[in-house]
């Protein structure tokens, strides 16, 4: 696998902590979806109203970037548990005119007052997960407002204020709570603890609002109007910023986020990481996301195997996916973090000779068990490991959308507030993230600092993997991404193999039962055809868990002159095209 562009063992305590974390966005059923074929433009997003908002902007002459802004603003209203202005995001942008791919890092940052001991209890041990999540100390400086502004400035066609109109109208007129949102509100133990969230999501008697209840969010509409007229600065300074700071400073667990932290926030334009896989070029996000590098490693490790021969849905193919993934996760946990704080050996991790050597560890007959990080080649620019490994597992309250416009411009954007409903702090109709819990709670191990420890101004490691695949002709061929916490990497890798090796269309690829390995047990999606692989994988030496693997994959696949859109049947998403 060749690098076309690059951005610069788990502690037992952390392992126990991670295994105790529940999935924040529980499975809420399976809704069959049909593939959507589009000749000109296509939007695939996590909620029908968000997909429609993006499609309407495209129909009005907007670009993929314009539609992306409209989709995100609508998701913050109708899918508030997953993303919004109070969170962060990563975006890939393909500009058809210049034929250039750019990645934008809108990840949250730790406040200047954050320290490596942020999530340590008084006894020096890591805090329990929800003691860390709930309240202001988990809130990072949000990046979404500035990321949306950066997308629009770079590739927007419609006026900035125009793309705000759909979300403003609906926030004022109201929308019906879906079954999924209603179930998540009812299941959450912490949301009612915040007065603003309680007033919005619960009835006066304290009961959760039911599906079909019309929600109006005039506070959010006012924030959107302020941003529409004043740009992203309206969020990072002035009255809105003051209210964010006050909410973060409130009990319980107040945080240190300040007005100066908000004013200093910047989006970072980075070169995407890209690599060859068979006849195509696969591109994703570089650090501080581990997603792009890990997906590329998995594909490179699989390239010596004939996956078409091993076939979809077999023990042989599931075994190979799991083994490649455990090797990629071993390297991820050792090396990847914010490149501004820890040297990132991306070129070495994607060096073809290194990956060829690692691939030889994969046996079709037997699992290799717990993988260890590889010794990176110095000639590829690697540095000796500076830090202890960390396998912090971010949670999957996230959303992804994929968009192509009539001119051929493409946006793949994964956006998140981390846990469901974030830190359970609502400000002017906006939920704030708890993204700082994506850092390692343990600042060091065996006398070495953990690369992903908390530090002032640092961006926590992520696993998001918005991905654009360029076909042999150099044009975008696949656009895909998903929520799912650290399982994002496995979900995206499997979807790519399904489309590239097994010949499935975008919808069929997303409907496969998930097979995921994060350098431990192999997770099989309960209730899916993948669950039937359990005995066969155990005979190969895998420890196997059956679990609800609640992805939210949204993909587009170009075949000939048309696009095929697919939306994950596990969530509410929809593809709309023409």
Averaged over 518-545, what is the pLDDT? 97
Residues 331-377 pLDDT 10s: 999 999 999 999 999 999 999 999 999 999 999 999 999 999 999 97
The model's pTM: 0.94
Bridge partners of 273, per DSSP, are 284
Q: Which pair of structure tokens corresponds to residue 181? A: 């949102």
Q: Output the pLDDT for position 25.
A: 59
Residue 307: name the closest of 362, 384, 251, 228 by CA: 362
Catalytic residue (one of 398, 416, 437, 467)? 398
Residues 93-109 pLDDT 10s: 999 999 999 999 999 99
Rounded-to-integer distance, Cα 17 and Cα 455, Å: 21
Which residue do the tokens 């959010």 mark?
Answer: 220
Phi-psi region of 437 (alpha: psi -120 to 50; beta: other; left: phi over 0): alpha
Averaged over 548-556, what is the pLDDT? 96
Residue 327: name the closest of 347, 304, 306, 300 by CA: 300
Return the percentage of the chain with pLDDT > 90, whole number.
Answer: 88
Which residue do the tokens 């730790």 mark?
Answer: 110
Q: Output the pLDDT for position 416.
A: 96
Measured at the CA of 524, the angle between CA 520 and CA 529, to 5 degrees, comes to 160
Q: Which pair of structure tokens corresponds to residue 84? A: 């919004």
Q: How confident is the model at residue 22 (pLDDT cuts 50, 70, 90)?
A: very low
Averaged over 385-414, what is the pLDDT? 83
Q: Output the pLDDT for position 542.
A: 98
398 is catalytic: yes
Which range among 126-135, 164-173, 522-531 shows the weakest confidence by mean pLDDT?
A: 126-135
Q: Output the pLDDT for position 310.
A: 85
Rg (CA), the chain: 22
Residues 185-236 pLDDT 10s: 999 999 999 999 999 999 999 999 999 999 999 999 999 999 999 999 999 9
Run of H or E including 242:
helix 239-249
């Amino acid at each position: 696998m060749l690098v076309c562009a690059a951005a610069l063992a788990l502690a037992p305590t952390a392992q126990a902590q991670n295994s105790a974390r529940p999935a924040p966005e529980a499975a809420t059923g399976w809704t069959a979806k049909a593939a959507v074929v589009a000749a000109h433009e296509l939007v695939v997003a996590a909620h029908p109203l968000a997909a429609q908002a993006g499609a309407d902007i495209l129909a009005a002459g907007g670009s993929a970037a314009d539609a992306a802004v409209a989709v995100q603003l609508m998701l913050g209203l109708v899918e508030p548990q997953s993303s919004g202005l109070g969170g962060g995001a990563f975006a890939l942008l393909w500009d058809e005119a210049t034929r250039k791919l750019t990645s934008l890092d809108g990840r949250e940052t730790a406040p200047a007052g954050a320290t490596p001991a942020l999530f340590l209890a008084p006894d020096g041990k890591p805090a329990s997960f929800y003691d860390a999540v709930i309240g202001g100390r988990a809130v990072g400086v949000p990046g979404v407002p500035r990321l949306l502004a950066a997308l629009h400035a770079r590739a927007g066609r419609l006026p900035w204020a125009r793309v705000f109109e759909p979300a403003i109208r609906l926030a004022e007129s109201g929308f019906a709570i879906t079954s999924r949102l209603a179930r998540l509100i009812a299941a959450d133990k912490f949301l009612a603890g915040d007065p603003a969230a309680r007033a919005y999501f619960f009835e006066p008697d304290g009961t959760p609002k039911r599906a079909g209840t019309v929600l109006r969010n005039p506070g959010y509409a006012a924030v959107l109007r302020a941003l529409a007229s004043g740009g992203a600065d309206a969020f990072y300074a002035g009255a809105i910023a003051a209210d964010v700071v006050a909410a973060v400073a409130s009990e319980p667990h107040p945080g240190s986020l300040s007005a100066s932290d908000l004013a200093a926030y910047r989006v970072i334009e980075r070169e995407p990481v890209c690599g060859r896989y068979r006849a195509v070029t696969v591109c994703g996000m570089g650090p501080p996301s581990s997603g792009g590098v890990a997906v590329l490693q998995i594909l490179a490790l699989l390239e010596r195997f004939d996956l078409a021969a091993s076939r979809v849905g077999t023990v042989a193919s599931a075994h190979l996916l799991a083994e490649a993934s455990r090797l990629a996760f071993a390297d991820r946990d050792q090396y990847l973090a914010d490149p501004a704080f820890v040297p990132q050996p991306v070129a070495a991790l994607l060096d073809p000779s290194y990956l060829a050597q690692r691939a030889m560890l994969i046996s079709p007959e037997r699992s290799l068990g717990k993988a260890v990080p590889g010794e990176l080649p110095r000639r590829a620019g690697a540095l000796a490991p500076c830090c202890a490994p960390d396998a912090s597992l971010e949670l999957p309250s996230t959303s992804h959308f994929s968009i192509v416009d009539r001119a051929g411009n493409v946006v793949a954007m994964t956006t998140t507030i981390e846990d469901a409903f974030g830190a359970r702090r609502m400000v002017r109709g906006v939920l704030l993230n708890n993204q700082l819990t994506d850092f390692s709670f343990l600042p060091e191990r065996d006398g070495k600092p953990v690369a992903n420890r908390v530090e002032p101004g640092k961006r926590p490691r992520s696993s998001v993997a918005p991905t654009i695949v360029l076909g042999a002709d150099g044009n975008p061929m696949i656009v895909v991404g998903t929520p799912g916490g650290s399982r994002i990497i496995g979900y995206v890798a499997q979807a790519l193999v399904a489309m590239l090796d097994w010949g499935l269309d975008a919808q069929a690829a997303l409907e496969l039962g998930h097979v995921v390995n994060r350098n431990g047990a192999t997770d099989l999606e309960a209730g899916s055809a993948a669950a039937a692989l359990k005995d066969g994988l155990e005979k190969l030496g895998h420890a196997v868990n059956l679990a609800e693997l609640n992805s939210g994959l949204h993909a587009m696949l170009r075949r000939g002159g048309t696009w095929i859109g697919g939306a994950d049947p596990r969530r509410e998403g929809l593809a709309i095209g023409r």
